[in-house]
Amino acid sequence: QGQLVESGGGSAQAGGSLRLSCTASKYDFNFGCMGWFRQYPGKEREGIALINVGDGGQVYDDSVKGRFTISQDNDKNTVYLQMNSLKPEDAATYYCAGTQTNWAKCVTHPNWYLYWGQGTQVSVSA
């Protein structure tokens, strides 16, 4: 059973940067989709940056395009989310997720993802 462990997150000022990491174990890092979801209190998780770890194809939510970048390091079984130009509305709980289903284009709905990290908090001050 796949396990995902997140690190990074914390606090930043608006306009600043943070980087999240997600390391997978007991998980085939050669195919499938991994990525990042965020959740506001009382709201459903929403996919914001996904990557097909087999071919590198990326999907971004419009709210983070041009500011956030997802990347992978296959040697470390790790996916990263570089968050630049942070805005107060980026403050949320961020979750790493993965699925071994090999879509041509990663889907963003959380119901399709089987493996989840524990979540990490991101705070952004104005």
57-89 confidence digits (pLDDT tens) = 999 999 999 999 999 999 999 999 999 999 999
31-59 confidence digits (pLDDT tens) = 899 999 999 999 999 999 999 999 999 99
The pLDDT of residue 122 is: 98
CA atoms within 13 A on the CB side of 84: 7
pLDDT at residue 102 greater than cutoff 90: no
| CA gap 119, 126 in Å, rounded | 23
Task: With beta carbons less than 8 A apart as the criterion, state whether 113 and 96 touch.
Answer: no
Residue 70: strand, helix, or coil: strand
